[in-house]
Structure 1
Amino acid sequence: MVRHEIADSVTLDPDDVRILRSLQVDPRVGFATMATVLGVSELTVARRYRRMRRAGLIRVIGVVDPGALGQSRWMVRLRCRPGSGAAIAEALAQRDDIGWVALSAAGSEVTCAVRSRSAEQRDDLLGRRLPRTAAVLDLQASVMLRQFLGGRGHYWAALTGTLSPEQESALGSGAGSGVGSGDRPFTEQPVVRAHPSQLDTHDERLLATLAVDGRASHVDLAAAADLTPGRASRRLQALLANGVVHIDVEIAPIALGYRARANLWMRVHPAEVKTVGRAMAQMPEVGFAAAVSGPHNLHAVVHCHDLDRLFEFSTERVGTLPGVEGMEISPISRQIKQAGTRLDGDRLSEATGGDQGRP
């Protein structure tokens, strides 16, 4: 396997890549189990994982799906005054209800994903705070109507074949996460569930702990949620099984050689939206795809190794799909936040959100 050379003298060797893949298969798998499956020592697995985490190449966190709680999700595009986009993006990234923030158009456009846990929280942001921000010239908010792919499909595809089927089966038995689905990309599903889950105080504390460390032990989860370890374990399995939270394996794009990221805003014939969305969900470059409201009825986030490959992908593979009538390619100049993780340059940061009063 080729060694991955990363900026600032960080190098991923084959064992590092196998550890990344193991975490994709089961994000909460124990170091001892991983070591047995990979044929290395437990100390080696723990040391390499912590090295990658310190280097900002990987984070494992719990991400709450507002749709499981009965709330819609929105994609928002902001056109900002020149020179103001970065400050607005940074302020948005501080919020817990903003899961994804990126700068485009030389910093004058901000794109963010809103995943508010209540209608009041969402309406306050979209209906009052953002429209009153002097530097925001235009706001376009699109509700997600159907998700075709999530969970960073490009990361999953990039590491396919790293482990043998037998190794993946051994890791995916559910011993760590309880569900064995890991960071596997989400399949097509409604955005808002018909039967929302209800959370209590113990659940909220447990979820807050997972938001910081998705690999937190049952003992740590129990202490945070004021439960016994057994009850904390059972409650975690229930939250995972009901889709309230998933354990997300965030990998810095630079670690896998992705240097060209873009939003695709597509106009698709209404009768072909499902077909095109499902086709894009099968493409390894696509990390997210959803039908949305507004002038563009399909949105996708794509990762390619460089701009030339982005051009070839968008023209030869996406542009030729039956039903695609138009497409706007908006290259991302700077990713501020992905899932629930802040980025510092090309690296994942330990910093989290928490300020619901901004912008």
Structure 2
Amino acid sequence: MSWSSGDDLDRLDRRIMHALQIDGRAPFARIGEVLGVSDQTVARRYARLRGAGTLRVLGLVDPLRVGLTAWLVRVRCTPDAAASVGEALARRTDTRWVSLISGGTEISCIVQGAAPGQDDTLLLQQLPRTPRVVQVSAHALLHVFFGRDLSPLTRTGPLGPAETAALAPPDAPARRSTETTETTEITEITEAPVRLSRDDQRLFDALAMDGRTSAAELATATGWSQTTVRRRLAELRSSGALYYDLDFDHATLLGHLQASLWLEVEPARLAEVGAALAEHEEVAFAGATTGTANLYAAVVCRDAGALYRYLTGPVAAIPGIRRLETAPIHRTLKGAGPHRGTHRDARRTDSPA
């Protein structure tokens, strides 16, 4: 993964990135109007950032909204194997956020499970039988408190409330929560899962490579008219099945130390703890999972001292946490989108290594 340094980004670059985090398909004219620059300036800056590998806009499917299970997986290998197994996992199309953790001796990743009635081949067969894989643990992701289209840029980016409101997409799904003085209760959207067709999958394949792919190119990929493309994009987004995210280097832009947290939380306080973590500026992702460690979070801190202060301060102050395991992220091999260098029509590999 080749990134430009965060030091190369000026204030306008960061403002454009924040705008795209809010709405990845926002027209350059609207971004320019809100930021007070021309649409040509926005387009030129975006082209430079994308061409340099500094960021990509991704259009991604939310597995929880389409009836699929996402798994948080930890793979422990023999000392010499983690890097090669991790690279093989990163090249697969059913993985996201593949990282070497714990000094590079383990791998963590998110695996998108098979459709109902299909086998989870990677989890049940391929990984356990891979030479030099010592142990595999998998935990189903049940609920996302912070993540998907939200990132630390959402909280700490340079845009103010008025600019953020002006850029908010009209077709984004509503976020509903109910707060009380005793606890924070998350109100789930209980609509039936969105069913995707083969044409929808071709649409998602194109958007995963470039979330700003034009309607004309998407029409070619799906065989639809441009009008149908625009209507389906709006339907998928308003249902929550489609969201837009930025692929950028969290380390150089937000902090140099990234870590995974596995928390064992009292079940009665799981929603409260998850909601509290979602408010912390260090948290890049937080979700409820199955298993003894029933809450997972990914955090970004400036350095080891900042991580220590975060763990002994804001995290320690949250009631209901029974146990906490911290694993520094040694290297991120793959982020939210396809592996860099993956071709548009790439298929799943036959084995993880």
TM-score, scaled relative to structure 1: 0.87
Which AA in structure 1 matches 2:163? Answer: Q
Q: CA deviation at 1:119?
A: 4.4
Cα-to-partner distance string for 1:246-267 (whole Å, 9 max, x where unaligned): 1112221134241110010112
Q: What's 2:155 paired with?
A: 157
Q: CA deviation at 1:336?
A: 0.9
- SS in structure 2 at match of 1:355: coil
Q: What's 2:196 paired with?
A: 199
Q: CA deviation at 1:332?
A: 0.2
Partner Cα distance (2:29, 2:14) in 1 = 17
8 Å contact 1:147–1:189 — kept in the other structure?
no
1:321 counterpart = 2:321: no
- SS in structure 2 at match of 1:233: helix
Cα-to-partner distance string for 1:259-298 (whole Å, 9 max, x where unaligned): 1100101122222222211111111111111222223121
Which AA in structure 1 matches 2:208? Answer: A
Bigger drift between 229-238 and 53-62 goes to 53-62
- Note the residue ranges of structure 2 that are not aligned, 5 or more in a row: 175-184
Please give the residue correspondences for 1:272-287 in structure 2 after superposition, counting only pairs within 5 Å. Answer: 272-287=269-284
- SS in structure 1 at match of 2:74: strand
Q: What's 1:138 paired with?
A: 135
Q: Measured at CA, do residues 350 and 51 of structure 1 come closer, stay the same or move farther in structure 2, by a change above 3 Å?
A: farther
Partner Cα distance (1:244, 1:122) in 2 = 22
8 Å contact 1:94–1:354 — kept in the other structure?
no
Root-mean-square deviation (CA, aligned residues, Å) is: 2.4
8 Å contact 1:276–1:321 — kept in the other structure?
yes
Partner Cα distance (1:241, 1:77) in 2 = 33
Cα-to-partner distance string for 1:313-356 (whole Å, 9 max, x where unaligned): 011111231111211110000011111244xxxxxx45466434
Partner Cα distance (2:51, 2:274) in 1 = 36
Q: Measured at CA, do residues 111 and 43 of structure 1 come closer, stay the same or move farther in structure 2, by a change above 3 Å?
A: same
Percent same amino acid among aligned pairs?
37
Partner Cα distance (2:160, 2:144) in 1 = 30
Which AA in structure 2 matches 1:138? Answer: Q
Q: What's 1:56 paired with?
A: 53
Which one of 210, 235, 238 corresponds to residue 238 of structure 1? 235
Please give the residue correspondences for 1:1-359 in structure 2 after superposition, counting only pairs within 5 Å. Answer: 11-119=8-116, 123-151=120-148, 152-159=150-157, 162-174=158-170, 178-179=171-172, 195-342=192-339, 349=340, 351=342, 354-359=347-352
TM-score, scaled relative to structure 2: 0.88
8 Å contact 1:291–1:298 — kept in the other structure?
yes
Partner Cα distance (2:165, 2:273) in 1 = 31
- SS in structure 2 at match of 1:340: coil
Partner Cα distance (1:60, 1:157) in 2 = 18
Q: Measured at CA, do residues 132 and 122 of structure 1 come closer, stay the same or move farther in structure 2, by a change above 3 Å?
A: same
Which AA in structure 1 matches 2:37? Answer: V
8 Å contact 2:7–2:252 — kept in the other structure?
no
Q: Measured at CA, do residues 113 and 173 of structure 1 come closer, stay the same or move farther in structure 2, by a change above 3 Å?
A: closer
Bigger drift between 313-322 and 251-260 goes to 251-260
8 Å contact 1:289–1:299 — kept in the other structure?
yes
Q: What's 2:178 paired with?
A: none
- Note the residue ranges of structure 1 that are not aligned, 5 or more in a row: 1-5, 182-186, 343-348
Cα-to-partner distance string for 1:156-187 (whole Å, 9 max, x where unaligned): 2120xx2343333332253xxx4388xxxxx9
Q: CA deviation at 1:190?
A: 5.8
Cα-to-partner distance string for 1:93-120 (whole Å, 9 max, x where unaligned): 1111111111012221000111134246
Aligned pairs, number: 338
Q: What's 2:180 paired with?
A: none
- SS in structure 1 at match of 2:47: helix
Cα-to-partner distance string for 1:135-169 (whole Å, 9 max, x where unaligned): 1101111112332221353232120xx23433333
Partner Cα distance (2:337, 2:23) in 1 = 19
8 Å contact 2:63–2:241 — kept in the other structure?
yes
Which AA in structure 1 matches 2:72? Answer: M
Which AA in structure 2 matches 1:125? Answer: L
Partner Cα distance (1:42, 1:216) in 2 = 18
Partner Cα distance (2:116, 2:131) in 1 = 24
Cα-to-partner distance string for 1:119-146 (whole Å, 9 max, x where unaligned): 4666211110010011110111111233
Partner Cα distance (2:169, 2:237) in 1 = 15
8 Å contact 1:145–1:190 — kept in the other structure?
no
